[in-house]
A and B are shown apart, each in its own frame.
Chain A
Amino acid sequence: QVQLQESGPGPVKPSETLSLTCSVSGDSISNYYWSWIRQPAGKGLEWIGRIYTSGTTNYNPSLKSRVTMSGDTSKNQFSLKLSSVTAADTAVYFCARDRYCTSATCSHSDYWGPGILVTVSS
Chain B
Amino acid sequence: DIQMTQSPSSLSASVGDGVTITCRASQSINTYLNWYQQKPGRAPQLLIYAASSLQSGVPSRFSGSGSGTDFTLTISSLQPEDFATYYCQQSYSTPVTFGQGTKLDIK
Task: Specify the main secondary structure of chain B where it touches its partner.
Answer: loop
A112 and B98 form a contact (CB under 8 A) = no
- Give the residues in chain B near A49, CB-CB below 8 Å: 95
A47 and B87 CA atoms in complex are apart in Å by: 13
Do B98 and A46 have beta carbons less than 8 Å apart?
Answer: yes
Number of A-B contacts (CB under 8 A): 60
Q: Which of B10-18, B19-27, B37-45, B70-78 contacts A (4 or more CB under 8 A)?
A: B37-45
Least Cβ–Cβ distance between A85 and chain B, in angstroms: 19
Chain A residues near B99 (CB-CB < 8 A): 44
Answer whether A94 and B43 are a contact pair too, CB < 8 Å, given A44-B98, A47-B97, A110-B55.
yes
Could you tell me the distance between the alpha carbons of A94 and B38 in the complex, rounded to whole angstroms? 13
> Could you say which interface size class chain B belongs to?
20 to 34
| B94 adjacent to A108 (CB under 8 Å) | no
Assembled-state Cα–Cα distance A55/B77 (Å): 45
Known: A105-B94, A108-B34, A114-B43. A44 touches B55 (CB 8 A): no
Q: Residue B65 at the A interface, CB < 8 A? A: no
Q: Is A61 at the interface (CB under 8 A from chain B)?
A: yes
Contacts of A115 in B (CB 8 A): 42-43
Please indicate the chain B residues that have their CB under 8 angstroms from the CB of A31 in the complex.
none
Q: What are the residues of chain B within 8 A of A109 when measuring CB–CB?
A: 34, 46
Using a CB-CB cutoff of 8 Å, which residues 78-122 of chain A contact chain B?
94, 96, 99, 104-110, 112-115
On A, residues with C-beta under 8 Å from B are 35, 44-47, 49, 58, 60-62, 94, 96, 99, 104-110, 112-115
Known pairs A61-B1, A106-B91, A114-B43 / 9 extra A-B pairs, C-beta < 8 Å: A44-B100, A46-B98, A47-B95, A61-B95, A104-B93, A105-B32, A105-B94, A110-B55, A115-B43
Provide 28 A-B residue pairs closer than 8 Å at the C-beta atoms, listed in order of the A residue: A44-B99, A44-B100, A45-B87, A45-B89, A49-B95, A60-B94, A60-B95, A61-B1, A61-B95, A62-B95, A96-B43, A104-B93, A104-B94, A105-B92, A105-B94, A106-B91, A107-B34, A107-B91, A108-B46, A108-B49, A108-B50, A108-B89, A110-B46, A110-B55, A112-B43, A112-B44, A112-B45, A114-B42
